């Protein structure tokens, strides 16, 4: 198996994004007086890599029947014949075992979080919610928000910490506009695969209504960050115009349709979640970070 095939199998772009959000959760959970230990941090990220890459590889085994029907996914490693299901399963379970072993060295808590995420993503979401429910993306956003919990749990067992609630909420809410805008763009592919996504099951107007609803909630949490995490005025001066830009791109998307508006909205929501998660961490930890 080539390195390129391996990268495609584990969905490396998603894995890198998971590592970024997991790192944000790590620093949100790190106590203000606790020392930063580079080894502890790296082991946490390696454990998260194992879980994220392993679950993504297994997802491709589970969804090969869907991928074969969709133009966007038919050239993935398994449907294209570049790797067998057995090989992909071996890679998946090897990565999951690696993640569990490294995670145990950090804290048994993150191993528990990792396997709970696996259960929700590869179990409930992949096998049932995505295939049967029009609103399957909503409960499916739970495992998508868990990397923040994973990183946070490496340093804290307080799962009711306002900083963690903020990180989980903003990751959870972001996923609906992100996924449903993608579903609008590729709705014919999803229709061919027999998936009951909102644009095909309920129509475009309802899809835009729900995208707008979750975009508004997402922006509201971002603007309300000071109620969860201590931030400076500079953060708000950055967040307010970015929030307005995201809302503007949504209305533009609604007005002009997917041909001209989809990609801009998709990219701005992706950029915004990185800012909304990472900048509070830098804002909170700037003295520690700049001393390293």
Beta-carbon contacts of residue 10 (< 8 Å; ≥ 6 apart): 52, 53, 54, 56, 57, 91, 95
Q: How far apart are CA 214 and CA 85, in angstroms?
A: 36
Contacts of 192 (CB under 8 A, 6+ apart): 69, 70
What DSSP line would sit under 226-237, residue for residue? Answer: GGTS---HHHHH
Domain 160-292: assigned CATH number: 1.20.120
pLDDT of residue 279: 84
Domain ranges across the chain: 1-158, 160-292
pLDDT value at position 292?
Answer: 45
Amino acid 34: pLDDT = 58
* pLDDT tens digit at each of 292 positions of the chain: 788 999 999 999 999 999 999 999 999 888 655 577 899 999 999 999 999 999 999 999 999 999 999 999 999 999 999 999 999 999 999 999 999 999 999 999 999 999 999 999 999 999 999 999 999 999 999 999 999 999 999 998 989 999 999 999 999 999 999 999 999 988 888 999 899 988 888 989 999 999 999 999 999 999 998 888 877 777 788 899 999 999 999 999 998 876 677 889 999 999 999 999 988 887 766 554 444 4
CATH 2.40.30.10 fits 1-158, yes or no: no
- The pLDDT of residue 285 is 66
160 three-state secondary structure: coil
For every residue of 246-259, DSSP letters joined together read HHHHHHHHHHH-HH
Report pTM.
0.91
């Amino acid at each position: 198996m080539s390195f390129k095939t391996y990268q495609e199998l584990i969905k490396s772009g998603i894995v890198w994004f998971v590592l970024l959000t997991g790192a944000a959760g790590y620093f949100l959970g790190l106590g203000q007086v606790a020392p930063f230990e580079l080894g502890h941090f790296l082991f946490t990220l390696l454990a998260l890599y194992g879980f994220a890459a392993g679950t993504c590889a297994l997802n491709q085994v589970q969804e090969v029947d869907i991928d074969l029907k969709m133009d966007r996914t038919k050239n993935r490693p398994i449907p294209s014949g570049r790797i067998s299901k057995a090989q992909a399963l071996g890679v998946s379970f090897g990565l999951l075992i690696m993640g569990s072993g490294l995670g145990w060295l950090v804290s048994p808590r993150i191993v528990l979080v990792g396997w709970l995420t696996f259960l929700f993503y590869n179990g409930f979401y992949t096998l049932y919610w995505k295939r049967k429910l029009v609103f399957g993306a909503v409960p499916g956003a739970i495992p998508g928000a868990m990397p923040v919990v994973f990183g946070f749990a490496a340093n804290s067992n307080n799962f009711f910490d306002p900083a963690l609630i903020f990180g989980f909420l903003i990751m959870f809410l972001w996923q609906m506009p992100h996924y449903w805008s993608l579903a609008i763009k590729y709705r014919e592919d999803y229709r061919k695969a027999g998936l009951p996504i909102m644009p095909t099951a309920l129509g475009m107007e309802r899809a835009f209504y729900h995208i707008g609803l979750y975009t508004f909630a997402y922006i509201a949490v971002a603007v309300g960050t000071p109620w969860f995490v201590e931030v400076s005025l500079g953060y708000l001066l950055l967040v307010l115009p970015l929030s307005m830009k995201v809302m503007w791109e949504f209305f533009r998307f609604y007005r002009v349709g997917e041909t001209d508006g989809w990609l801009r909205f998709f990219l701005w929501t992706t950029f915004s979640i990185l800012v909304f998660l990472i900048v509070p961490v830098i804002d909170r930890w700037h003295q520690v970070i700049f001393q390293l």
